[in-house]
Amino acid sequence: MTAEEIREEVLDILENIAPDEDLTNMDDSVNFREQLELDSMDFLDIVMELRKRHRIQIPEDDYLNLASMDSTVTYLTPILKDVEKAK
């Protein structure tokens, strides 16, 4: 997947986690925690969704990388580069 596809995928996951949230004006550089008021349970969900969708394991020490959209995409790009975008 390309960085742009990964971004789409993460948006889709966030939509799934916070269905009542409007994500159209998301600022990619701002922490999810502040922007969407996600808590630790929600972060676990991002990790679990990635595992469910792409069979990737993210070690607990790496959760920090999922702080904002920018950092998440940067972190996932090498990991998902050989993965086909699901449709």
Partner 1 sequence: MYDTIIIGAGMSGLAAGIRLAYYDQRVCILERHTTIGGLNSFYRLRGRDYDVGLHALTNFTPKGTKKGPLARLLRQLKIPWDELQISPQLGSEVVFPGVRLRFDNDIDLLRSEIASEFPEQAENFDRLIEAIVEYDDLDQSHQEISARERVAEFINEPLLLEMLFCPLMFYGSAREHDMDWGQFSIMFRSIFLEGLGRPHAGVRLILKQLVRKFRGLGGELKLRAGVKKIVVENGQTTGVILENGEYLAGRRVLSSAGWHETMRLCDDGQPVTPRSSGRLTFCETIASLDIEPQELGHRSTITFFNDSDTFHWTVPSEPCDVRSGVICSPNNFDYAADSEKIGGTMRITALANFDYWQGLDEDTYRLEKLRWYDFITESAVRFVPDYRNRVLDTDMFTPTTIVRFTGHDSGAIYGAPEKQLDGRTHLPNLFVCGTDQGFVGIIGSILSGISMANQHCLRDY
Q: Which two tokens stand for residue 26?
A: 């998301």
Q: Is residue 12 at the binding interface for partner 1, with CB under 8 A as the rule?
A: no
23 lies in the binding site for partner 1 (CB under 8 A): no
Helices 3-17 and 40-54: crossing angle in degrees, nearest 10, is 130
41 binds partner 1, rule: CB under 8 A: yes
Six-digit token string for 80: 């998902």
Q: In the stretch 56-85, what mask flags binding to partner 1 with x, by CB under 8 A?
A: ----x-------------------------
Least distance to partner 1, CB of residue 41, Å: 6
Q: Which of 11, 5, 7, 1 is nearest to 70 (CA)?
A: 7
